[in-house]
Structure 1
Amino acid sequence: MRIVLTGLRGTGKTLVGAALADLYHLPLIDTDERIEQEAGMAIPEIFAAEGEEGFRRREEQVVAGLPAGQAVISTGGGVLLSQRNLVALRRGSRMVLLTADLETMYRRTCTSDRPPLTGKPLVDEIRTVAAARRDLYRAAADICVDTTGKEPGTVALEVRALLNETWRTEPRAGALSFLLQANPAEREREALAADLKSDPELGLCGIAGFPASHSISPQMYAALFARFNLDYRYTRIEWPSIAEIVGAFRAGRLRGLSVTIPFKEQVIPLLDTVDPDATAIGAVNTVVRCGDDLAGFNTDWLGVSAPLQQHRGEKAVLIGAGGAAAAAAYALKHLGMDLTILNRTEERGRALADRCGCSTAPLSVFRDLAPEVVVHATPVGMHPDTGTLLTRADLDEGMTVFDLVYTPRMTPLLVEAEAAGARVIPGTEMFVHQACAQFEHFTGIRVSPDLVREVIE
């Protein structure tokens, strides 16, 4: 086992690391100590001579040289600021985030000779750095443990209990049995059941939808987890109740959840915290667990925004008013577009338009609007549906048509748009860009769109 402890200064990484090393009879490696040994200087001296930039270079060199075998590794507070460090530390490891309240971190660090990072008073510095790194730490952690008011040995026992937790232990066993039952793909279900029995440390993510059988997320995540040597699996969760799914997600101690139709709006009141973008959109497609906290995010809007960067300020029509449409509207407004929302249920379209500060109209007036960009955000055309809300007679070669449906890749709408000479953007592009952001939320690792395209083709 290779255990990596991360967290801010004052969360107890060094002392907990020593206690864990004793429990597991493993060597303890402290990256700060190694930096000092290799530099022949204390860390304050390194900062004085080379600045933080020089220290971070040395830190990367030390992390790159860490042994791949079994060990407990205690890291510096800022080690995860480097993607190179994060990828190297995550390979074949279990990442443990230690946290503590502000008073505890202050008490543990107020006599330290470590150099300041912000120039602010210590309490303000802790608060500032904690806010800046919160999402990064959460994304990179397999498990999260609060060390406030606890002795290092107690924390080490808690970490070991979480790392050794098997799927056979209630209430996790019941939750995972439910999740297996909810996977509609028999072969996937059988393979996951075997993996869970053989690997008690296995991490688990999944996609919640009704339906979820059409999703290409499982194949993408399987490839990405393998690429970065992460001991994780990804499952489909097809069930009519998002409340039951989230309950099982909590009890089963899953790591991350992709949320799709029809749950993107329904999931919000079931979460502990929701990101400001997701709150503004009114929809969540990404849930991350850290300790007992479930945090919600929306990466769909990034998936819409990225392929349309060159169309800033243009005239756009958005068809739909559901969760995906809300994310699309948010993205289009961020791009400064003159936006009109068209929806078959005019009241719902008007409600979304009022929230976004844009216009609304019935679908029948589409031709009169003469948009430069068309974004389709309804399920119409999703396999096995062969319908389309627009035909080639409605479209022309001056338009860019983006269908957020990605199965099939060339939807009936895109076939009609291509026949009309319009530029088409398949929903796989939204999937690719939102998946990059979602994978980072789940693992802390940033991946390129090209890599995601490669693994889903």
Structure 2
Amino acid sequence: MTEVTVTDVTATVTSWPVDLSTVPAGVTRLEIRADLVGDLDPAPLRLAFAGRLQYTLRSRAHGGRCADPPEVRRARLAWAALGYDTVDLEADHDLRPEVLAAVPAARRRVSWHGPSAALTELRERFAAMAAVPAAGYLLAPRAASAADALVPLRLLAGLGRADVTAYGTGALGVWSRLLAPWLGAPAVAGPLDRSRSTGALDVARICADYPFAALPPLRDLYGLAGPVALASSFLGLHNHAYRERGIPALYLPFHLTGIGDFLTGFWPAVPDGLRALGMPLRGLTVSGPLKEVALHVADVVSPVARAAGAANALTRRGGRWRAATTDSSAVAAALRWVGVPLAGRPAAVVGCGGAGRAAAVALRYVGADVTMVNRRETRGRLAADLLGLPFTPLDAFRPTGPCVVVHATSVHTRLPFPVEGLSAGAAVVDLVCPPSGVSALVAEARGRGLRTVDGRRVMAVEAAHQFRLMTGRPMPPEPTIREVVTHAGLDSP
């Protein structure tokens, strides 16, 4: 596709007071949610912010908090038109002669927020909205599934206009908000306050992780599917690497809470729909709890993924989806960094999910004497039986001597198991990535002089392995990668 330029990167102010010096570089518009923060005088705002100002008085019918009587609402909109560059007018009830007389066409944005809608309904809604001259239009149906978010993108593709923004709202639709500019949407927006970014990426993440405002050409799509998608630093890692390598691709967050979201709302509707839009999805990182189901939707499964009973990567080649796991190779690389011989050495993997099972496969491959450890005994024994390995319940696990321990659960604020029995020559590999700093396990192990590899180290190499698997090219050098790891989630894919 040809290069496009996004007109606006919008930071939405949802709480007040706020320090406007925190507005990220690259933001060109400030949206004041007056239904949340009141009617802010635009004059002092202009002293603190050099971009354009938008006034939005979201009604309860449109998912906001404004419940003003009609005459009060009309007065507030008319007041806003005196000082703001853009005033949002809701299509359902604001397009009255007295409001249109007070808000010039060049300052209007006509919007509609509502439930998920079919393409024919969105087309009809837009036709009615477009009858009112405005600088821009917004259609934002709620995405009850990932597939629902395809509908507004299909609308954009069919309209071929540069004054219409459309995307699915809610966490399941975030990916469509980010992709919409490549289909002609003139703006992308996110909350300025991270605490209000539920169901959306905050604007700092948008500016840091995505190539706005001047969009590069786009040929292929990749993404992360799972409940950690919106928090993962994989977004920034991959998108920065695409830009540095000159690859016309985009990496998107497909927030899916579980197997139901994946099978009934995402697969295969979203990959098929994106291909129909001329934006084929070429690869997916898959996080827990979707690693097992990834095996079942694939046409081809790698031997390591089959042995682990889980896959964290799906790639499309020659019309076929291939399942693989990079958990094993990432752990193997981490163990090489540790620098201890593994053949015949006692080793334990704490956590029997997809990442833990893949780690066990890697350890067994190099000849370690592996034991599986898990809090829930039934699940742990099933995983151990799948791999043909012994099992120990977590509450009975007391590692001793020069053992190698790989930790693959989400626990990070406390010790998941005691480490005082480990001796010189022992090593701890932690796959968890706390929001900041290191986990309690890594801190304790380092304090005792044990060899450690933290989750960010593992995640950086995992991202590099997935990047090569998906694109066929190496990721930029690791120092560049590690500088980008600033928004790590609590789970590695």
**TM bracket (short chain):** 0.5 to 0.7
Deviation of the 1:236 alpha carbon: 0.9
Matched with 2:463 is 435
SS at match of 2:428: strand
- Answer whether contact 2:167 2:176 (CA < 8 A) is retained: no
List aligned pairs for 1:146-185, cutoff 5 A: 168-169=153-154, 181=169, 183=171
Q: Does structure 1 residue 299 correspond to structure 2 residue 330?
A: no
Runs (4 or more) in structure 1 with deviation over 6 Å come to: 170-173
What's the C-alpha RMSD, in Å, of the aligned pairs?
3.2
Amino acid at match of 2:294: V
Matched with 2:262 is 242
- Answer whether contact 1:285 1:300 (CA < 8 A) is retained: yes
Of 199, 203, 216 in structure 1, the residue corresponding to residue 220 of structure 2 is: 203
CA distance in 1, matches of 2:170, 2:353: 24
Of 353, 364, 385 in structure 2, the residue corresponding to residue 354 of structure 1 is: 385
Question: Which string of whole-angstrom CA distances, capped at 9 and with x for unpartnered residues, describes residues 226-279 of structure 1?
Answer: 011111111111123221322212332312111012111122212222122211
Deviation of the 1:201 alpha carbon: 4.6
Matched with 2:283 is 256
- Answer whether contact 1:319 1:378 (CA < 8 A) is retained: yes
CA distance 1:279–1:178, change in 2 (3 Å): farther
Of 365, 373, 397 in structure 2, the residue corresponding to residue 366 of structure 1 is: 397
Percent sequence identity over matched residues?
Answer: 32
List aligned pairs for 1:20-419, cutoff 5 A: 168-169=153-154, 181=169, 183=171, 190-197=177-184, 201-240=218-257, 241-243=261-263, 244-247=265-268, 248-253=270-275, 254-290=281-317, 292-309=319-336, 310-311=339-340, 312-313=342-343, 314-367=345-398, 369-381=400-412, 386-393=413-420, 395-408=422-435, 409-419=437-447
Matched with 1:424 is 452
- Answer whether contact 2:298 2:321 (CA < 8 A) is retained: yes
Higher relative contact order (CA 8 A, sep 6+): 1
CA distance 1:415–1:368, change in 2 (3 Å): closer
- Answer whether contact 2:400 2:423 (CA < 8 A) is retained: no
CA distance in 1, matches of 2:353, 2:410: 10
- Answer whether contact 2:352 2:408 (CA < 8 A) is retained: yes
CA distance 1:231–1:183, change in 2 (3 Å): farther
Matched with 1:49 is none
Amino acid at match of 2:272: R
SS at match of 1:252: helix
Question: Which string of whole-angstrom CA distances, capped at 9 and with x for unpartnered residues, describes residues 304-329 of structure 1?
Answer: 00121333222111101111111100
Amino acid at match of 2:244: R
SS at match of 1:375: strand
- Answer whether contact 1:242 1:267 (CA < 8 A) is retained: no
Amino acid at match of 1:207: L
CA distance in 2, matches of 1:180, 1:205: 19
Deviation of the 1:299 alpha carbon: 0.8
Matched with 2:161 is none
CA distance in 2, matches of 1:182, 1:354: 40
CA distance in 1, matches of 2:327, 2:157: 30
- Answer whether contact 2:433 2:439 (CA < 8 A) is retained: yes
CA distance in 2, matches of 1:195, 1:413: 43
The answer to which structure has the higher strand fraction is 2
Amino acid at match of 2:447: A
Question: Which segments of 5 or more consecutive residues in structure 1 lack a partner in the other structure?
Answer: 3-165
- Answer whether contact 1:183 1:236 (CA < 8 A) is retained: no
Amino acid at match of 2:368: M
TM-score of the superposed pair, with normalisation by structure 1: 0.56
Deviation of the 1:355 alpha carbon: 2.8
Amino acid at match of 1:251: G
- Answer whether contact 1:320 1:344 (CA < 8 A) is retained: yes
SS at match of 2:361: helix
Deviation of the 1:362 alpha carbon: 1.9
- Answer whether contact 2:312 2:325 (CA < 8 A) is retained: yes
Amino acid at match of 1:453: R
364-373 or 354-363, larger mean C-alpha shift: 364-373
Question: Which segments of 5 or more consecutive residues in structure 2 lack a partner in the other structure?
Answer: 3-150, 159-164, 186-214, 276-280, 487-493
Amino acid at match of 1:261: G
- Answer whether contact 2:314 2:321 (CA < 8 A) is retained: yes
CA distance in 2, matches of 1:301, 1:180: 36
CA distance 1:167–1:364, change in 2 (3 Å): closer
Amino acid at match of 2:252: T
CA distance in 2, matches of 1:277, 1:416: 32
Deviation of the 1:430 alpha carbon: 1.9
Question: Which string of whole-angstrom CA distances, capped at 9 and with x for unpartnered residues, describes residues 139-178 of structure 1?
Answer: xxxxxxxxxxxxxxxxxxxxxxxxxxx99558999xxx99
